[in-house]
Structure 1
Amino acid sequence: MDAYLEEELYDLLTACIQQPDSPELAARKNRIAEIGKELAADSGADATENMFFAIENRIQGEIGEDARPYRSWWNSISGEWKY
């Protein structure tokens, strides 16, 4: 399951970074939050941290952009995640 979520998260974040003015931004942001909730519920804060770290590295390596500003979209998921 995590591999599917990683791919979906990568696609969503890449789209948000490359198309920040898209009318689909709100829907993408909501789905990104849902993915974070799924990860946290299934495997805890370590899983969310590991997933986002992997995504940050992929985005940096593949499109040369920084995904760190989007970490804050998961702030409401748990008290352990504060960016």
Structure 2
Amino acid sequence: MKQACNNCRFWSALAVEQVGFHEEESTCLNAKSADSGDITQGLDVCELWAGGDLGSIDDPCWGVEDARAAYAKFDGDAL
């Protein structure tokens, strides 16, 4: 799996917008990233990428705190 914004847990699920035939953009939600709060392209890359196996941290199926807690458990980290 390529470590690109479109499969990072910090790429907003709520702000995704189609900008071309095969391209999307959304907002970076990683407070530690230089791109935080900025629009990024789906295939952009970042050193602070984090796998989005459980979905984006702002996916509506999670509450924000629930997603962070699920990722902490998934990653084996304490909150």
Structure ranking higher in strand proportion? 2
TM, length-normalised to structure 1: 0.28
Larger helix proportion, structure 1 or 2? Answer: 1
Q: Under a length normalisation based on structure 2, what TM-score does the superposition of the two structures give?
A: 0.29
